[in-house]
Amino acid sequence: MSSESLRSLSVPGDGDAASAGRSDLVPIGPELLGGVKVSLDARLGEAAMTVEELMALRAGAVVPLTTSLADHVNLYLNNILVARGEIVAVSGRFGVRIVELAPSS
């Protein structure tokens, strides 16, 4: 919902009460939402297989993905694509360097 939509909201029957109470509204920002937990997923690719193939997987099996080593990783915030990046090594662990962000509305 945009801030313009928020400005136009009013409670039915309150007349001018919506504009009178605007000074009581708290700005939405990091102070308000900073502690909210979200899920960020990095998806490397996909693999289509039958249930039989899935059940036959064993330790050491390799599942080919639909992506190549040069393709970007898609980053999903609560299942919404928000960015693309590339896999990097960070202190012996994997990380993602952001190369493209979704446009803000």
CATH number at residue 63: 2.30.330.10
Q: Compute CA distances 51 → 48, 57, 83, whole Å.
A: 10, 10, 31
Burial class (CB in 10 A: 0-12, 13-18, 19+), 76: middle
Distance between CA atoms of residues 7 and 19, nearest Å: 9
**What pLDDT is stored for residue 19 in this prediction?**
54
Continuous segment of H or E residues that includes residue 29: none
pTM of the model: 0.60
For residue 18, give the 3-state DSSP assignment: helix
The count of domains in the chain is: 1
Residue 7 DSSP code: H
Q: Which domain holds residue 96?
A: 3-101
| pLDDT tens series, the chain, 105 aa | 444 444 444 444 455 555 555 678 878 888 888 888 989 999 988 999 999 999 999 999 999 999 888 899 999 998 999 999 999 999 999 999 999 999 887
Token pair 């193939």: residue: 53
For residues 59 and 81, what is the distance between their CA atoms, to the nearest angstrom? 31
